[in-house]
Amino acid sequence: MFRTRQRHLAIFVLTLSACLPSRAGTENPRFTPLVRAVESCRKFVVNIHTEKDAAEAADSRFFTPRSRRVSGMGTGIVVDERGYIVTNYHVIHEVDTITVTLDDGETLSARTVSFDRKHDMAIIQVQASRPLQVMPIGTSSDLRLAEQVFAVGNAFGYEYSVTAGIVSALGRDVEVDETQSYENLIQTDASINPGNSGGPLLNVVGEVIGINVAIRAGAQRIGFAIPIDDARKTISRLLSAERLDGVAHGLFGRDIKTPEEKKLIVTDVAPGSAAAVCGIVKGDTVTKVRGITVHDAADWERSLLGMPIGSELDVDVLRNGEPVSLKLKVGVGHSSAKTAATADSTNTRTVSSVQSSSASPESVRARAKRLFGVNLANLNQRDRNTINGRFNGGMKVVSVANGSPAERYGIQVGDILLGLDGFETLNDRSLAYILQDARLQNLKTVKFQVFRRNQSLVGHMVPTTARQ
């Protein structure tokens, strides 16, 4: 009997040990693909903290050193290894300082690069000590109701919070107030809280399929995200090399997003442009630029952004199914500010800053004087040394007209104008883009940032007119 009980015990122990998960390597069933995907997302998700003056201070006509500060929070997603990060515009709207915390705890100051009010998206940039990991791009083209999704973000300041849910609905149009509405949103019951804005909505394999943007006030588990396919079109505009650097490329393309492939098809090439000189033709599929895999127009734009004029970039395309290697020379050829008659209606375009810079620098500065009452000049070496390491550049305020908007709202002679309306004022070319009628005609006020006595100051002013 003792032997029988001993045999039964041995069988029970063996059976139990067979049921227990292995602790070695990736065989542990606890480490599911989902767990690994969520763990890896920390490398491309950042936490954002902001500060700004309280309403009573921000509305003041003049700067005051005794303003009360208000803190905010949000989340961002790395879209380029050089520190370009996408978030919601409302996260950085009218803030004075932006601080980004990376997954390893490194805290960095960020600057606003560009934004789109209507679509509530913005690009900020940090100068990280290492290349950052870029988001893995999914597609929102094949989302299904009840598909499992996960939201990651800085919820109520609790960094890298992960919540789970399903896709509750697709194609939602949401009106927040009289100034902000959204179209074609993903509705999810994954908990989204203040601080989640700008963070990723992930599928079960860790791909970004949406950008969390809003919640339904007073409701439980009703959140909304911008579909990633829509978001990437906006990102391509915000990262446009032509818009930010004033360097035209002349390529117009259409994003193809399916579960099987993500690619950029060339729909038109501006004659005489850099893309035409390179040898890119209509119908090509752009696959790589300087080693960066091109999934869509956003990848194409970021691959050209910040490249020195005259540099040659390796460009790989597929033409009639065959690989072709080309060389694109940055800054050659004509502006791409033409209408491509054959381009698809969904083609993402950028407004050429070059088209406005055909006028002389004096006329651009005269426009700034007429609109705001400031005379601007290029920085000298001493001015550049003053802001070196803190800002990329600016323009010196050499005079302020009596009774002008600049005087009324506190700009002084000697200030360094760092930016207008969220864009850096680095030179006449960037100023020309900012002061276009098409940009200013719908703005009631223009945010400005100046550097004065070792301090960055932010305010708002109303231009005299936005028309020629």
User: What domain range includes position 24?
Assistant: 2-30
Residue of 140, 168, 197, 356 marked catalytic: 197
The pLDDT of residue 57: 46
Residues 200 and 94 placed together within one structural domain of the fold: yes
Greatest mean pLDDT among 206-210, 349-353, 359-363, 364-368: 206-210
The pLDDT of residue 58: 45
Residues 50 and 137 placed together within one structural domain of the fold: yes
Q: Is 197 a catalytic residue?
A: yes
Question: Does residue 136 belong to any structural domain of this protein?
Answer: yes
Residue of 90, 119, 249, 295 marked catalytic: 90
Answer yes or no: are the C-beta atoms of 206 and 266 closer than 8 Å. Answer: no
Question: Does residue 338 belong to any structural domain of this protein?
Answer: no
Q: Is 284 a catalytic residue?
A: no
Give the count of domains, the chain: 4
Q: Is 129 a catalytic residue?
A: no
Question: Does residue 436 belong to any structural domain of this protein?
Answer: yes
Residues 112 and 22 placed together within one structural domain of the fold: no
- Average pLDDT, stretch 151-165? 92
The angle that helices 297-304 and 228-238 make with each other, rounded to 10 degrees, is 30
Residue of 53, 80, 103, 120 marked catalytic: 120
Residues 149 and 257 placed together within one structural domain of the fold: no
Residues 407 and 449 placed together within one structural domain of the fold: yes
Please tell me whether residue 95 adopts helix, strand or coil conformation: coil
The pLDDT of residue 11: 45
C-alpha dist (Å) from residue 4 to 1, 18, 217: 5, 21, 66
C-alpha dist (Å) from residue 54 to 48, 82, 444, 459, 467: 19, 33, 20, 12, 32
Q: Is the pLDDT of residue 384 over 70?
A: yes
Question: Does residue 343 belong to any structural domain of this protein?
Answer: no
Residues 304 and 382 placed together within one structural domain of the fold: no
Mean pLDDT score of the chain: 83
High-pLDDT (> 70) share of the chain, %: 81
